[in-house]
Amino acid sequence: MELDLRGSKAYADRAFRWSAAAAAGLVLVVLGLIAITITGRSTPVFRQMGLQFFTTTRWSPADALFGALPFVWGTAFTALIALAIAVPISLGMALFMTQVAPPGIKRPMVYLMDLLAGVPSVVFGLWGVLVLSQLVGLGRSFMTAGIILAVMIIPIITSLSREVIETTPPGDKEGALALGCTRWEMIRAAVIPHSAGGLVGAIMLGLGRAMGETIAAALVIGSALGQITIRPFAPGNSMPAVIANEWGEADALHKSALIALAVTLFIITVVVNLIASTIVQRSMKKAQGL
């Protein structure tokens, strides 16, 4: 009789492996479904408007006229304002935590950031619309939305920047100090050149997050229609905001236009996030391989 080393558990073992693989594969299935379904549902508006959907500036559901440009602009503009505010603060915070703060102060700072990251976006939106926008001069505008988004993306940019900065080889920093550099000169000579790439990636991830953030923006951006303006204190609109705000009362064609906006948003944020994570990963790998 042959020695059967397979054992009766072989089936169970293989079944487990396959179910685990299926669970992993779910990511691909869901992502694929998302792409297919939302693209599919957006076709009516493209049949109506063609590619002019992306170039028209008027958005008038009553006239079946749908131009995405103001919302794409609004998303970009708010994200830019958010970055302009968040990046210097995040970098300053990251440099403080890694280069200046004594160990006893660093830990509370980490908790501070975690706390900030933990506040749900809708609560930020609530505060934004009932408190911040009541402040003189702000109202519901690009600026208010930009401020709220900035507050929301600071934790992520800071924590990633910290990770990148901490990979600076201590030998480089010591070398700069030994030459008589002040602290800031040392940071400029040893820390920043080393971290620059990774920091760009961290900033881009913040950008991706700012563009995709829906609820806070929807509450405070002002839901204006149509104009493309560079006045930051004007009420504005963005892709996620208009989708959230207009969905409830939209008819079928209108809905498909909103879904088309979602497709646009999807593609833009995915591209930005991908570029960003590639940059960050490559910079971390470079730091470890050195």
* 219-278 binders of other proteins (CB under 8 A): 219, 240, 243-244, 247, 258-259, 262, 265-266, 269-270, 272-274, 277
Q: Which of 84, 110, 115, 228 binds other proteins (CB under 8 A)?
A: 115
Report the alpha-carbon distance of residue 72 to residue 62 in Å, rounded. 21
Q: How far is the CB of 52 from other proteins (least distance, A)?
A: 22
Please give the residues from 44 up to 83 whose contact with other proteins meets the rule CB under 8 A: none
Half-sphere exposure of 170 (CA within 13 A, CB side): 1
- Binding residues for other proteins restricted to 13-32, rule: CB under 8 A: 13, 16-17, 19-21, 23-28, 30-31
Q: Apex CA 207: angle with CA 165 and CA 184, to 5°?
A: 30
How many chain residues interact with other proteins (CB under 8 A)? 102
Nearer to other proteins, 54 or 127 (CB): 127
Report the residue from 57, 166, 174, 228 that binds other proteins according to the rule CB under 8 A.
174
Residue 153 lies near other proteins (rule: CB under 8 A): no
Q: How many CB atoms lie within 10 A of CB 192?
A: 15
> Given the rule CB under 8 A, which of 52-60, 62-70, 118-126, 227-235 is the region that contacts other proteins?
118-126
The CB-of-269 to other proteins minimum distance in angstroms stands at 6
Which stretch, 49-57, 65-73, 210-218, 224-232, contacts other proteins (CB under 8 A)? 210-218
Q: CA 33 from chain center: how many Å?
A: 22
* Long-range CB pairs of 117-124, under 8 A, 24+ apart, other chains included: 117/155, 117/156, 117/159, 121/152, 121/213, 121/214, 121/215, 121/216, 122/215, 122/216, 122/219, 124/148, 124/151, 124/152, 124/216
Amino acid at 49: M
User: In this chain, which of 48, 52, 167, 214 binds other proteins, going by CB under 8 A?
Assistant: 214
